[in-house]
Amino acid sequence: MESRTRKKRIWASYRYCFARLVLQLWLYYEESLDNVTWVSGEDKAFGEELTQIMRRFLEESQEDGAKEAFERLKGLRDRIIGRVEILTAFSDCFQIYEYVLNRVERRFAAGKPSRHTPRELASLLVESMASMESPAERNGRLRDITAQLPVRFTRKKFYSMVMERLSSYGGLNRENVEDYLHMLKSSVMLKLPQGMEEERELYKQLECLCQAQYRNLEREDFDRCANALGEGTRLLSAKMDYYVSVQQMANDLYVLFLTDREKVTDAVEDMKFRSCTENILDALQAGDGELLGTNEIPREMEGIQESVIDLVMAAGAEKDPILDQVDRLVSGSLFMPAEAREACHQEADRQWLNREGEKLCEELEGLFTGMQKAVVRAVMAKVISSLPIVFRDSREVEEYICTSLESCTDAAEREASMELLENELT
């Protein structure tokens, strides 16, 4: 990259991330004053360690000290990613059990019957997809629809569908397919991370859902499961919001460490960034809601991000060890590694895909052993909706929807599925 252009991007990235860090830290400070009870001591420790590293960044002038603080930040960021993997696993599990509960709810609470026959509903859903402009939007809607359909496949048919759909990845980069398979296995409870039991409240709610007997569920049991799902989902959402906030600040601080020694910036503005950060950290440490009683700090940051964002996002054509990391850290993927792994250019050929597909089916068969039928169907639905779409035309899509609904002999489940699908039309 041309030296002058590179310097401009370094300078722009430093300003962009420092302004964003100040604003995010301000929000973090305001939220800390609400005395949120769901934040455990272990959760708080991540935020507290991050603010300590911020102070080190503001105070440290010696190269060795700055390097030590940067290494500490890297370790903290990796631990946050590990924590979020655990929370994501809970989210995936809750989605499986939400599918199950949605389909048994009508045993206990009669809803309005569907306004349409399965054929009519299938036709309307296909029409709604056809009206969408972009293929990505249509594909997303089709995935949402297939995720809500009743599942009445034999296991043999299901595994055949898995193998057929995976074959459509032939010729793609093998590493990308491996990433997809890892994500798929995680989302259907095949690859759960260690340490989930450490999230005691979430684990308690998940245990309630796992232990329920869905075939013979009584109203009292259903209410208990519904409450567990609701409480777990609310707690999970709050925790994820907290870690998104902390990770956003960690990413911005990471960029500041990367660019600090190479930046060329206005000394007055830089002092403003640093003094604002230090003032918020002092107020945060004191727990004083009056210490920053005005909106002066957010006003001082106004317009800075907007003035440099084009330079920050203007990726260069040449490889650059610092700016390549900056690009990853300012992207929308907060939890990706800061450094790209070495690229693999092996192709996902038919033989490799067959092996991977067979392994996936074997692992699913092991998961299904001893699992309740209602949960097996929920897992199957999640797998099918996650796999590549292989319908040839809209007529085939319509037939698939209609057949899935008509083959479901459980009236309560069919009506629940149709109600969820009708919501896709609104």
Q: How confident is the model at residue 60 (pLDDT cuts 50, 70, 90)?
A: low
Residues 251-261: what's their mean pLDDT? 94
Please write the tens of the pLDDT for every residue from 126-145. Answer: 999 888 888 888 888 899 99
Please write the tens of the pLDDT for every residue from 73-94. Answer: 999 999 999 999 999 999 999 9
CA 113 to chain centre: 35
Answer whether 417's CB lies under 8 Å from 117's CB: no
Answer whether 283's CB lies under 8 Å from 292's CB: yes
Q: How confident is the model at residue 63 (pLDDT cuts 50, 70, 90)?
A: low
Please write the tens of the pLDDT for every residue from 161-218. Answer: 999 999 999 999 999 999 999 999 999 999 999 999 999 999 999 999 999 999 999 9
- Report pLDDT for 328: 93
Report the 3 state secondary structure along the chain: CCHHHHHHHHHHHHHHHHHHHHHHHHHHHHHHCCCCCCCCHHHHHHHHHHHHHHHHHHHCCCHHHHHHHHHHHHHHHHHHHHHHHHHHHHHHHHHHHHHHHHHHHHHCCCCCCCCCCHHHHHHHHHHHHHCCCCHHHHHHHHHHHHHHCCCCCCHHHHHHHHHHHHHHHCCCEHHHHHHHHHHHHHHCCCCCCCCHHHCHHHHHHHHHHHHCCCCCCCHHHHHHHHHHHHHHHHHHHHHHHHHHHHHHHHHHHHHHHHHCCCCCCCHHHHHHHHHHHHHHHHHHHHCCCCCCCCCHHHHHCCCHHHHHHHHHHCCCCCCCHHHHHHHHHCCCCCCCCCCCCCCCCCECCHHHHHHHHHHHHHHHHHHHCCCCHHHHHHHHHHHHHHCCCCCCCHHHHHHHHHHHHHCCCCHHHHHHHHHHHHHCCC
Buried b (16+ CB within 10 A) or exposed e, 327-353: bbbbeeebbeebeeeeeeeeebeeebb
* 62, pLDDT greater than 60: no
Residues 44-66: what's their mean pLDDT? 85
Please write the tens of the pLDDT for every residue from 303-345. Answer: 999 999 988 888 766 788 899 999 999 988 899 988 877 777 7
Phi first, then psi: what are they for 423, rounded to 5°? -65, -25
- Report pLDDT for 390: 77
Amino acid letter at 314?
A
Q: How confident is the model at residue 366 (pLDDT cuts 50, 70, 90)?
A: very high
* 50, pLDDT greater than 70: yes
Going by C-beta distance under 8 Å and a sequence separation of 6 or more, which residues neighbour residue 95? 187, 382
Answer whether 417's CB lies under 8 Å from 103's CB: yes
* 36, pLDDT greater than 80: no
Phi first, then psi: what are they for 393, rounded to 5°? -155, 180
Answer whether 241's CB lies under 8 Å from 309's CB: no
- Report pLDDT for 65: 65
Domains of the chain, by residue range, sit at 3-87+237-329
